[in-house]
Structure 1
Amino acid sequence: MNPFVHKTLVMQLQAGAADRFPVLAHLQYDAADPFAVTAVFTHDGRVLARWRLDREMLADGLTRPVGIGDVRFRPVSTGMWQELRMDFFGDARPGGGRHHAAVFAWAPAVAAFLRQTHEIVPPGREQVRIDDFLAEVFTGK
């Protein structure tokens, strides 16, 4: 079985009070890093941001608000349209506050991606190879 899952989705980015605009989100899962999902957001061929997200938190965000730090997820329903709202907070602004962007994804597409990752490594069956991790730490990789 392939230990990788990759899915590219069109999502909507909203920064500040601006209107939403489409961005591509490249979601990647690697069984070698079973707790994480990497999300790379691009627009016009440029990488806007790269985030490592907690897979369980991403799944929980489809059904309830989660997160208290730099990354927060919550479901949003507008009629029949089900979205996952992802809030990302960055560095402090010179005048106060923090940089903030909200990304809106079609929730069924995110759920389908997560189901594929669960086929590779079911929730609760994740394993971390401590010896490999410590070797990386000590070699400075």
Structure 2
Amino acid sequence: MNAFVHKTLVVQLRAGGTDRCSVLAHLSYDADDPFAVTAVFAYDGQALARWRLDREMLSDGLHRAVGVGDVRLRPVSVGMWRELRMEFLGDVRPDGGRQRAVVSAWAPAVAAFLRDIHEVVPPGQEEFRADDILAEILSTG
């Protein structure tokens, strides 16, 4: 079985008080880092942002509001349309404010991606190989 899963979605981005615009979200999962999902948001061939998300948080965000820090997820229903709303907060600016971006993804597409990664590493079966990481650090000395 493939230990790497990738899915590209068209999502809606709203940042800096602008209207929504369509961008690509490249979601990837690598079983070697079993707790994380990488999301790269791109427009016109340019990467706009890259975030590492907790896969359990991503799954929970389809059903309830989660997150209190720089990443917050929650389900949103508009009629029959179900979205996963992802809010990302940037670094604190000198004026004390923060950049904020909201990404809306079609929830069934995110759920399908999660099903694919759960086939690779089922929830609760993740392994953290601390010995391997420590050996690699010590070998590069």
The DSSP-based 3-state class of the residue aligned with 2:138 is helix
1:4 positional shift? 0.7
TM-score (norm 2): 0.95
For 2:62, the equivalent position in structure 1 comes to 62
For 1:49, the equivalent position in structure 2 comes to 49
RMSD: 1.3
1:140 positional shift? 6.0
Instruction: Give unmatched runs, 5+ long, in structure 2.
Output: none
Q: Distance in 2 between matches of 1:134 and 1:94?
A: 38
Q: Distance in 2 between matches of 1:72 and 1:61?
A: 8
Q: Distance in 1 between matches of 2:139 and 2:77?
A: 47
For 2:21, the equivalent position in structure 1 comes to 21
Q: Distance in 2 between matches of 1:43 and 1:131?
A: 39
- The answer to whether residue 35 in structure 2 is matched with residue 32 in structure 1 is no
Q: Distance in 2 between matches of 1:9 and 1:58?
A: 15
- The answer to whether residue 10 in structure 2 is matched with residue 10 in structure 1 is yes
Q: How many residues align?
A: 141
The DSSP-based 3-state class of the residue aligned with 1:77 is strand
- The answer to whether residue 88 in structure 2 is matched with residue 88 in structure 1 is yes
Q: Distance in 2 between matches of 1:133 and 1:81?
A: 43
Q: Distance in 1 between matches of 2:139 and 2:20?
A: 44
Q: Distance in 2 between matches of 1:86 and 1:20?
A: 13
1:134 positional shift? 1.2
Q: Distance in 1 between matches of 2:102 and 2:71?
A: 10
Residues 57-111 of structure 1: per-residue CA shift (max 9 Å, x gap): 0000000000011111000111000000000001112333111100000000000
- The farther-off stretch of 87-96 and 69-78 is 87-96
For 2:111, the equivalent position in structure 1 comes to 111
1:53 positional shift? 0.4
The DSSP-based 3-state class of the residue aligned with 1:134 is helix
Runs of 4+ in 1 over 6 A off after TM superposition: none
Instruction: Give unmatched runs, 5+ long, in structure 1.
Output: none
The DSSP-based 3-state class of the residue aligned with 1:109 is helix
